[in-house]
Structure 1
Amino acid sequence: MKSSSQAVSFMSILMLLLLLAPSSEAAIACSDVIKDLRPCLSYLQSGSGKPPATCCAGVSALASAAKTTADKQTACNCIKNATSKVSVKPELAKALPSNCGISLSFTVSPNVDCSKYYFY
């Protein structure tokens, strides 16, 4: 009987630890990333100078939402896939965060390898 109660206690502790452990799954969805960056599309395709305020607000929202490494990798992959499907000026895409005065821990580009990118 003693070993049965020890096993139950062990399993209870294990389940508690699993529930308290930080999750590596992304909390951000591709649809959110696309929604945030949609106001940037015309700027990235044919713009110049500073991006529109609505675009920068979206970049800022994305930067705030992508907290964990998993979030950043998801956002990076979403952006990579989206920019590979529409024609954007690579130099504008790469400079977008800095042109908005925002720091992203990944490059906005169809060529970035999100699995090897260093996310801080």
Structure 2
Amino acid sequence: MARSGLMVLAGVVLACLLVCAPYAEGTITCGQVVNSLTPCISYLRSGGALPPACCTGVKNLNNAAKSTPDRQTACGCLKQASASISGIQPALAQGLPGKCGVNIPYSISPSTDCSKVK
């Protein structure tokens, strides 16, 4: 009897772990992404001179996004932010990492599938 009770308990615990286990989560938050890139907004809207604080933010964000979940989170946050901030020019957003000397493994675009970012 004790053995079957233990097996039932083990099964319930396993089921809870499978149902409740979070998907892979990174340590980067959308707040960090937005804060890092806020100095870039004027450039992303109208071009012109690239503020040094913008590239500092881009580099810091890139350095923080070392794992696949972090890069996927950053990608999703970038997509959300670009959709919610009016006037962002997609071509400027796409070229921003390169202008700051950073190479990222995905394109900054509304059509990027962030779940495929590695």
Instruction: Tell me whether 1:26 sits opposite 2:26 in the alignment.
Output: yes
Q: Structure 2: any 5+ residue segments left out of the alignment? A: 4-22
**1:20-49 deviation digits (Å, cap 9, x = unpaired):** xxx93211111001100110001000113x
Matching of residues 1-120 of structure 1 within 5 Å: 24-48=24-48, 51-86=50-85, 87-117=87-117, 119=118
Other structure's SS at 1:109 match: coil
Number of residues of Structure 1 aligned to a counterpart in Structure 2: 96
Moved more, 83-92 or 105-114: 105-114
List runs of 5+ in structure 1 lacking aligned partners. 4-22
CA distance in 1, matches of 2:51, 2:108: 17
Cα distance in 2 for partners of 1:106, 1:73 equals 10
Q: Secondary structure at the match of 1:112?
A: coil
Q: Which letter does structure 1 place at the counterpart of 2:63?
A: S
Q: Is the 8 A contact 1:25 1:70 kept in 2?
A: yes
Output the TM-score relative to the length of structure 1: 0.73
**AA aligned opposite 1:81:** Q
State the identity %.
Answer: 45
Q: Which amino acid aligns with 2:98?
A: S
Find the aligned partners of 1:91 and 1:80 in 2 and give their Cα distance.
14
Residue 113 of structure 1: how far off its partner (Å):
1.3
Residue aligning to 1:12: none
TM-score normalised by L of structure 2 = 0.74
Structure 1 residue runs of 4 or more that deviate by more than 4 Å after TM superposition: none
- Structure 2 distance, partners of 1:68, 1:111, is 22
